[in-house]
Structure 1
Amino acid sequence: MTDSKIVNWTAADNAMVEDAIRRGASRRDLLKMMAAGGIATSVGGTILGRAMSAVAATPVSGGHLKAVGYSSSNADTLDPAKASLSTDYVRCCALYNRLTFLDKSGFPQFELAEALDTKDALVWTVTLRKGVQFHDGKTLDADDVVYSLKRHLDPAVGSKVAKIAKQMSDVKAIDPRTVQITLTSANADLPTILAMHHFMIVQNGTTDFSKGVGTGAFKLETFEPGVRSIMKKNTDYFKAQGAHVDSFEFFGIPDENARVNALLSGDIHLITIGPRSIRLVENRPDVVVQKTMSGAYTNLNVRLDMAPGNQKDFVDGLKYLINREQILKAALRGVGSIANDQPISPINPYCNTDLKPKAYDPDKAKHLLQKAGVMGQTLPVVASEAADVSIDMAMILQQSASEIGMKLDVQRVPADGYWDNYWLKAPIHFGNINPRPTADLLFSLFYAGEAAWNESRFKSERFDKLLVEARAELDNAKRKEIYGEMQGLVSENAGTIIPTYMANVAAHSRKLNGLEPNPLGGMMGYAFAEYVWLEG
């Protein structure tokens, strides 16, 4: 009898249940409705599960999306070239577009570009989409692309990717829809590089970015640096699907407990969290936790151009004093993997799996630190909530140091202003690096001799030479060999101590759907606002 009822359950019945779900009917109400139609409770539960899955997979239009990141600053910007924090990336992804973007598998796809062609990885031809309009009605053309790319080369702009853009020796318009990019040397990664957040396309001649005029899925309503941003759906968006939500609000809450409370109270749909907060939300029926393995990491930076980091024995001593297993277990709650003091994680195809991490060895650490002459000193280590789990990591290191008679003064500083006042500046401090899609980008941004974000001031002529060679190498096996040597140089000689690779952890309301992992970082590579939708 039950089976006959399943056979007689029609598509129209399914649609009725799905509509009731969207209108907010409770599970009990739905089961009562099906029972009234003669469906057994056990069968009704199965049908209801299928209906709920179907509803979740079908985008719904409308609603006001509210999401929170972990950082904010008075230096927040809408200029893609100057973006440096996740909150900057989120706003830029909503307001602008890139020539390419990375799908969840890490492969570049076309966005503003319709085609990207080359014969030698040296000269590239970009063909633009037809009919793309900026928020003010201007049609996108080649001059906009030329201006957007060339401004990274202007020192007055202060682009965060100036060193990467420097490889573009010439960028010129061939016709209104065609741009030619010539590189200083061949680089097969250019389509992936152009998918970086900084390479958003802005309107030709733009110098005032306060209005956020782009081609993106949202138009700017309100922007208060360090406070919040509010955007509304761009109804003239060039993508047929467009954003699902009507409006979008984003702001930073540096304090993790406050972020969690905002989510649990129902005030926020999506937050980023650290491993220590997973237990607070993972068993809540109204919350979904998404863990995505990534190349993100929090690292201890020792400046090699300042005391005590200018003594190699000191840096090597700290590397043996880092208890990686304990950091993974206690600070990351097991959500991650052991790292070996270089930025290329196991999810990257160029990872050197033969390069082993330094084992926790207090005796060896003590010997090296004694050679460096620091055992009688009290050394400050700057940590902050701004650098995810850095305080927990610092406390673990401090305990290990005390056990060998070394004194570390862990200085907890506010998250607000951390990236401007302490990162890259303090002799010993923590960083927090978001995933990057290629080995070249990680090395170019953080380890090239003249890189603006070279956290430990690592300098190596051999490394810089290999960096250029790897870009031009089209043989994948040879390229992996080059990157393997570079990883060894960083692991042994840089002052960046990377004990673990981390997973991106997001927590969101069950009302939010469509969130997927992306190699450019959490929150779908910070582009979530265009793709997610709200139920109920």
Structure 2
Amino acid sequence: MSKPTNWTNRDDSMVEDMLRRGASRRDLLKFMMVSGVGAAAGGSILLRAGNALAATPVSGGHIRAAGWSSSTADTLDPAKASNATDYVRCCAFYNRLTFLDEKGIVRMELADKIDTKDAKTWEIKLKSGVEFHDGKTLNADDVVYSLKRHLDKSVGSKAHSIAEQMTEISKVDDLTVKIGLLAANADLPTILALHHFMILADGTTDFTTANGTGPFTCKTFEPGVRSIGVRNENYFKPQKAYLESFEFFAITDNSARINALLSGDIQLAANLNPRSMRMLDGNDSVRASISTSGNYTDLNIRLDQDPGTHFDFVEGMKNLVNRDMIKNSVLRGLGEIANDQPIPPSNRYYNLNLEPRAYDPDKALFHFKKAGLVGTEIPIVTSDAANSAVDMATVIQQAGSEIGMKLKVERVPSDGYWSNYWLKSPIHFGNINPRPTPDILFSLFYMSNAPWNESRYKSDKFDSMVLEARGELNEDKRSTIYWELQEMISKEAGTVIPAWLSNVDGVSSKVEGLRPNPLGGMMGYAFAEYVWLKS
């Protein structure tokens, strides 16, 4: 069935998403007519989208999927997971107590029920009869051990700063766990849905393989090379994984990744650069899966190193970023302009009054002169490891050259970028996956003890307000605090967040079941459990 002129795979995906969200046939036809699609063609598009949604899952088959970043530091330890490649493995081999559905609603996974009377003391009832891959039955000891690991600094958990609020983690009986918090936090069920809080068997210290309760068993794990999972026939969920097996690895070069998809060598190409979208259009063998859930690429200026120690330099850079150009040229319209703080517009706590910085080269030059840095060569480290970072760096460099700023773009390889440059270089790019709550974002990236404090922002006032908001059960008061915290980050931190990125995963037309998720692309990195191949 041919597509109408100017209608793309991306638009098909948009219609599928609108149907999924409850849009009527009449509304969709109106939308397509405004887009220049005739009634007959619109009916065909709706038929295609309806068929895609109504497709009957099929069991069997093997998928090869490619992410964009990996290294020899790849891990099967959920506590140490730090990138999408790690998260994909965690979702395949382990389970969490809770998970988030595509609307961001908390659902039970290994937990059967979670109760609290005051949001400070929580009781978790576990599902009975769940087995680990080695045949061991899940019990409260496993949960206590898994959660307590995050409090042990020697483990090096990436969620340590979040877990610190858990002052008591204890076993009540074989299927009941009690968690006591330092202060009330109504977000605990959502926090437990983070990838780091996967549940291990009590006493697990060997991560050369994975012994979880997840939908796949680990057949192969080669850090920096590939992982292979085989369907767990003893999986506790009534609907086991549809796929018989999957292989996941990284193809760091965007063009190579999309060419592998087009050639049929892989069936899922994650996190495609928007500039390559045209390669998918008109090709019925592939389609785009698009979602905007809070992912962003940011320019990080460390405030504890020169030139970031100069407040005026940071101000100048924030005024030098042409956000409209980044959205329209770099992202090809697949994004939303951002305002230098990490809470996305989709979040109910988003500060509606906080305007993005306008592109103002004259104002930028004023601040650069105050900092005494006009004419000084300043390196900006960038890499394809951070989505669209190379193109963003080029836009910023060009804007700087027009006012006499010598910004030198240093493009480094994707391999090793996250361990060698991210968080370390004075000026560099990051790429942050979506997180479901403000508290998680602030705890991971902006509090003084945050493990991934990209600009080394430190503020006692900010830290105390995060703790205050965490325990505030009045939604109006909590919103007020979160709005002020966003403003503080935007004005004081050294992170420049130009836009929210629409995540684009390229998918073979043979793959069904892939849906958006607030935790990120590839269905919140859990695609392997839910997708299937057409027979």
TM-score relative to the length of structure 1: 0.90
Q: 1:416 is matched with which residue?
A: 415
Residue type of the alignment partner of 1:204: D
Q: 2:183 is matched with which residue?
A: 185
Distance 1:50 1:456, change over 3 A: closer
User: What displacement does 1:53 show?
Assistant: 1.6
**Which of 103, 126, 147 does residue 145 from structure 2 map onto?**
147
- CA offsets per residue over residues 172-226 of structure 1, 9 Å max, x none? 0000000000000100000000000000000000000112000000001011000
Aligned counterparts of 1:499 and 1:50: Cα–Cα separation in 2: 35
Aligned counterparts of 2:440 and 2:50: Cα–Cα separation in 1: 41
Aligned counterparts of 1:63 and 1:52: Cα–Cα separation in 2: 24
1:319-334 matches, cutoff 5 A: 319-334=318-333
**Which of 227, 233, 238 does residue 240 from structure 1 map onto?**
238
Distance 1:358 1:49, change over 3 A: closer
Residue type of the alignment partner of 1:179: V
Aligned counterparts of 2:447 and 2:101: Cα–Cα separation in 1: 27
Distance 1:135 1:371, change over 3 A: same
- CA offsets per residue over residues 265-324 of structure 1, 9 Å max, x none? 001111121211111113211111111111110000000000010110000000000000
Aligned counterparts of 1:158 and 1:173: Cα–Cα separation in 2: 24
Does 1:485 find its partner at 2:484?
A: yes
Identity %: 61
Does 1:210 find its partner at 2:208?
A: yes
Does 1:104 find its partner at 2:84?
A: no
Distance 1:205 1:129, change over 3 A: same
1:32-47 matches, cutoff 5 A: none
Q: 1:26 is matched with which residue?
A: none
Say whether the 8 Å CA contact 2:52–2:512 is kept in structure 1: no
Secondary structure at the residue paired with 2:466?
helix
For structure 2, which runs of at least 5 residues remain unmatched after alignment? 1-39
Aligned counterparts of 1:261 and 1:508: Cα–Cα separation in 2: 12
- CA offsets per residue over residues 339-372 of structure 1, 9 Å max, x none? 1100011111100010011111111100100110
Say whether the 8 Å CA contact 1:424–1:453 is kept in structure 2: yes
Residue type of the alignment partner of 2:450: A
Aligned counterparts of 1:114 and 1:406: Cα–Cα separation in 2: 58
- CA offsets per residue over residues 70-125 of structure 1, 9 Å max, x none? 11100000000000010000000000000000000101100000000000000000
Q: 1:464 is matched with which residue?
A: 463
Q: 1:370 is matched with which residue?
A: 369
Q: 2:4 is matched with which residue?
A: none
User: What displacement does 1:452 show?
Assistant: 1.2
Distance 1:290 1:365, change over 3 A: same
Q: 1:89 is matched with which residue?
A: 87
Q: 1:259 is matched with which residue?
A: 257
Secondary structure at the residue paired with 1:279?
helix
1:310-325 matches, cutoff 5 A: 310-325=309-324
Q: 2:334 is matched with which residue?
A: 335
Secondary structure at the residue paired with 2:411?
strand
Secondary structure at the residue paired with 1:156?
helix
Q: 1:289 is matched with which residue?
A: 288
Count of residues in Structure 1 that have an aligned counterpart in Structure 2: 492
Residue type of the alignment partner of 1:340: N
Q: 1:63 is matched with which residue?
A: 61
Say whether the 8 Å CA contact 1:76–1:88 is kept in structure 2: yes
Aligned counterparts of 1:214 and 1:503: Cα–Cα separation in 2: 32
Aligned counterparts of 1:57 and 1:239: Cα–Cα separation in 2: 21
Residue type of the alignment partner of 2:215: A
Say whether the 8 Å CA contact 1:244–1:533 is kept in structure 2: yes
Q: 2:33 is matched with which residue?
A: none
Q: 1:22 is matched with which residue?
A: none
Residue type of the alignment partner of 1:511: K
Residue type of the alignment partner of 1:494: A
User: What displacement does 1:131 show?
Assistant: 0.2
* Structure (1 or 2) with the larger CA radius of gyration: 1
Say whether the 8 Å CA contact 1:56–1:513 is kept in structure 2: no
**Which of 133, 136, 139 does residue 135 from structure 1 map onto?**
133
Secondary structure at the residue paired with 1:140?
coil
Secondary structure at the residue paired with 2:204?
coil
User: What displacement does 1:233 show?
Assistant: 0.2
User: What displacement does 1:461 show?
Assistant: 1.1
Aligned counterparts of 1:391 and 1:166: Cα–Cα separation in 2: 36
User: What displacement does 1:52 show?
Assistant: 8.7
Q: 1:350 is matched with which residue?
A: 349
Residue type of the alignment partner of 2:148: K
Q: 2:74 is matched with which residue?
A: 76
Residue type of the alignment partner of 1:103: D
Distance 1:373 1:223, change over 3 A: same
Aligned counterparts of 1:269 and 1:121: Cα–Cα separation in 2: 43
Q: 1:535 is matched with which residue?
A: 534
Distance 1:438 1:339, change over 3 A: same
Residue type of the alignment partner of 2:119: A
Q: 1:7 is matched with which residue?
A: none
1:300-319 matches, cutoff 5 A: 300-319=299-318
Residue type of the alignment partner of 2:91: C
Residue type of the alignment partner of 1:120: D
Q: 2:113 is matched with which residue?
A: 115
Say whether the 8 Å CA contact 2:144–2:169 is kept in structure 1: yes
**Which of 136, 149, 172 does residue 174 from structure 1 map onto?**
172
Distance 1:123 1:202, change over 3 A: same
Aligned counterparts of 2:346 and 2:49: Cα–Cα separation in 1: 35
Secondary structure at the residue paired with 1:242?
coil
Say whether the 8 Å CA contact 2:126–2:139 is kept in structure 1: yes
Distance 1:55 1:444, change over 3 A: closer
